[in-house]
Amino acid sequence: MLLALPVALWEFYKPMRVLAPELNGLICINEKICIDDIRKAEDAELLYLESASLTNNAIGDFNHNPRTIFCTTEECYRSFGFQSPSVAHAVGTSGVVISPRGWSNTKIIHEFVHHIQAERIGVISMLFKPDWLIEGMAYYISNDIMHNVPQRYIEAKIRFEKWYIEIGNEKMWETAKNL
Ligand SMILES: [Zn+2]
């Protein structure tokens, strides 16, 4: 698969490197977890398991487990094309990149929610969905305390919560797709 990727795209669109983190100098300990410092592998594995199970219990299973890249340095995070103040990033349905500031269930669940949104709603369709649905769901399901978060996301979370309680869990995806 990697050989099929044009070199120019590889250079230009760094998040694509999620597809082959080994080329960025990372070690993949299994299909789900890649890391730049193998000494932190156990912490990463535990965070992955906890975050995945909390996310799946709340909004459903993954179609494919998100490949998750745990960076212990900003340099690693930047090598995927991301930087502070962003703490973590989902890349379509390909995977998730976690910065050294994003090693918490809250931040990882947030990105796992975006991963499931991409699987259920579609990467392109997601761009046309309201912010309160996409970001509100991620902040609400991850139980974020909203410290240092822009006001529009605080409002998004409140709006999502109201909608979610009204709609109920079972009809959520079906209704979300038609919004
Ligand atoms: Zn988000």
Segment 36-79, tens digit of pLDDT: 999 999 999 999 999 999 999 999 999 999 999 999 999 999 99
With bands split at pLDDT 50, 70 and 90, how would you rate the model's confidence at 8?
A: low
Measured in Å, residue 38 CA sits from the centre of ligand 1 at 27
The total number of residues shown for the chain amounts to 179
Residue 13 lies inside a defined structural domain of this protein: no
Measured in Å, residue 139 CA sits from the centre of ligand 1 at 7
pTM confidence score:
0.92
Residue 56 lies inside a defined structural domain of this protein: yes
Checking if the pLDDT of 134 tops 60, the result is yes
CB atoms within 10 A of CB 121: 19
- Look up the domain containing 150 and give its range: 20-177
Which strand (E) or helix (H) includes residue 96? strand 95-98
Measured in Å, residue 27 CA sits from the centre of ligand 1 at 26
Measured in Å, residue 135 CA sits from the centre of ligand 1 at 5
> What pLDDT is stored for residue 2 in this prediction?
54
Q: How many domains does the chain have?
A: 1
Measured in Å, residue 4 CA sits from the centre of ligand 1 at 30
Residue 101 lies inside a defined structural domain of this protein: yes
Residue 24 lies inside a defined structural domain of this protein: yes
DSSP secondary structure of 98-162: E-TT--SHHHHHHHHHHHHHHHHH-HHHHTTS-HHHHHHHHHHHTT---TT--HHHHHHHHHHHH
**Rounded to 5 degrees, what angle do the CA atoms 43, 50, 118 make?**
110
Residue 1 lies inside a defined structural domain of this protein: no
Measured in Å, residue 90 CA sits from the centre of ligand 1 at 8
Measured in Å, residue 137 CA sits from the centre of ligand 1 at 9
